[in-house]
Each structure stands twice: as C-alpha cells, then as structure tokens.
C-alpha cells in the first residue's frame, strides 16, 4: 500500500501567518502534537506542540519559528511503511504526505498508521513480515517460496506493488515463522534486496524499534 492510499482523519494545515496560540488551539482540537505548515500549496515544515509552547510570544506568527520546523515528509508514491518508520524515528504524531513538487497532498496520523500496520501484518497472528524490492522481471513466486520453505516456514500472505517512480516491484510476504533472521539471511545470500523486515528475535534491523513500539501500543 502506498501512502496516498492511506485513510486518516482530516487534519488542518497551518499557515506561516497563523499565530502561535491559533496553532496550539488547532492541535488541541485535533488531538495531535504536530501539524504541517504550508506556504501556498507547498509544504513548509512540521511544527510541534513543544516548540510552540517554548515561543516567547503566543501572538507571534509561525513564520518567526522557521528554525524549529521539521522538513521531514513522505512522498505519496512511497510504501506506507516508510511513513511508519518516519513517525517512530522522530516521534511524530502526524506525517505529512507530499508530491514530487513538494505540494502537500494529505496527512496521516500516527494512530492511523499503527492501525494500518496492524491490519497489514495480521498482527494478531504469529509470524514475521518481509518486504523485498526487485525488478519486475526478477520476480518469481516459486523462487521466493523455495527460499522460505527451505527455512521450515510457509507463506501465509503475499502481495506485490509497483513503485510508479522507480518501476521496482515490492513483494510483501507474511510467513508463519516469527523468528525470521535465517530467512532474511537466505534472501540476502541470494542477493535479494530486503527492504524491511519484522520478526520476534533480537537482531540488527533499522525497523526493529518500530516493530517493538507497534507491539507495545497494541498491547495497551
């Protein structure tokens, strides 16, 4: 699933001429601690509640706080797991979605990202998740299945998407085995590009902390 396909609550945009107190009020009404700021149609940055509360004057315009803006966003044609990664790594309650011209096309709340990730990974069922990226001509279900079965696992779910920007195929695989480091190692040995993976064992993984946070959230 791409970020532009995500369904989230409708959140307001802030403008450079908005006042600090107005931004705080909008955040309070939307129950978030971040909101995007736009300059015309362009994404100007993300401002946090903490930065607003530290402002010397609550009637100051947001344009005076540009040094506090975060410029992080996700492209609308990126995999939605990139939005999960960005939110967790930076502690964002909201992730801005932009197009190639840096025009804001939407926002997605962190809570909605977690719900989508839970549904996407069938999180209530045991198992691991692996996302591969490859040229379309290199995709072979039989080859992927053989690698997984050689590690005493079975495919529970598999879907493919094509990145319209790069033309690469992303293959998302849910397996019935929660300890997947051996499967990942086998894919890497056969020179597959493993873009993301989530499992239960402890190993080095750029999204392992995201998975742990997701697990903790869903246990609340």
Mean pLDDT throughout 23-28? 95
The pLDDT value given to residue 89: 85
The pLDDT value given to residue 7: 64
Q: In which residue ranges of the chain is CATH 3.10.580.10 found?
A: 3-116
- Decide which of 200 and 179 is more confident: 179
- How far lies 23's CA from each of 43, 58, 61, 115, in Å? 16, 9, 10, 26
- How far lies 134's CA from each of 52, 150, 171, 172, in Å? 43, 21, 8, 11
What are 36-50's pLDDT values in tens digits? Answer: 999 998 999 999 999
What share of the chain has pLDDT > 90, as a percent? 54
- Decide which of 169 and 82 is more confident: 169
Mean pLDDT of the chain: 85
**Residue 178 to residue 111: CA distance in whole angstroms:** 24
Model confidence at 204, pLDDT cuts 50, 70, 90, reads very low
What are 37-89's pLDDT values in tens digits? Answer: 999 989 999 999 999 999 989 999 999 999 999 999 999 888 888 888 888 88
Mean pLDDT throughout 9-38? 93
Model confidence at 210, pLDDT cuts 50, 70, 90, reads low
- How far lies 76's CA from each of 22, 149, 153, in Å? 28, 35, 33
The pLDDT value given to residue 159: 83
The pLDDT value given to residue 201: 53
CATH code reported for the domain at 123-219: 3.30.70.260
- Cβ neighbourhood burial of 73 (10 Å; 0-12, 13-18, 19+): buried
Question: How many helices (DSSP H) and strands (DSSP E) are in the chain?
Answer: 7, 10
Q: In which residue ranges of the chain is CATH 3.30.70.260 found?
A: 123-219
pLDDT at residue 219 above 60? no
Q: Does domain 3-116 have CATH number 3.10.580.10?
A: yes
Mean pLDDT throughout 102-116? 87
- Cβ neighbourhood burial of 5 (10 Å; 0-12, 13-18, 19+): exposed
What is the separation of C-alpha 161 from the centre of its chain, rounded to a whole number of angstroms? 16
The pLDDT value given to residue 135: 94
Torsion of CA 164, 83, 191, 202, to 10 degrees: -170
Complete edge-to-edge strand list for the sheet that includes strand 42-48: 14-15, 34-39, 42-48
- Cβ neighbourhood burial of 34 (10 Å; 0-12, 13-18, 19+): buried
- The answer to whether 32 and 93 have CB atoms below 8 angstroms apart is yes
Model confidence at 122, pLDDT cuts 50, 70, 90, reads low
């Amino acid at each position: 699933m791409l970020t532009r396909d995500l369904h989230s609550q409708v959140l307001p945009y802030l403008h450079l001429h908005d006042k600090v107190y107005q931004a705080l009020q909008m955040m309070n009404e939307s129950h978030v601690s971040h909101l995007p700021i736009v300059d015309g149609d362009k994404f100007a940055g993300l401002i946090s509640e903490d930065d607003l509360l530290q402002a010397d004057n609550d009637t100051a315009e947001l344009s005076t706080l540009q040094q506090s803006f975060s410029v992080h966003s996700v492209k609308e044609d990126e995999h939605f797991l990139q939005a999960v990664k960005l939110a967790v790594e930076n502690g964002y309650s909201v992730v801005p979605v932009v197009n190639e011209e840096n025009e804001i096309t939407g926002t997605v709340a962190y809570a909605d990202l977690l719900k989508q990730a839970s549904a996407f990974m069938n999180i209530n069922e045991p198992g691991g998740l692996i996302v591969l990226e490859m040229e379309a001509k290199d995709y072979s279900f039989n080859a992927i299945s053989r690698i997984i079965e050689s590690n005493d696992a079975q495919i529970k779910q598999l879907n493919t998407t094509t990145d319209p920007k790069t033309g690469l195929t992303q293959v998302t695989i849910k397996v019935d085995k929660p300890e997947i480091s051996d499967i990942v190692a086998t894919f890497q040995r056969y020179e597959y590009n493993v873009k993301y993976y989530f499992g239960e064992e402890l190993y080095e993984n750029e999204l392992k902390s995201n998975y742990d946070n997701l697990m903790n959230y869903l246990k609340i």
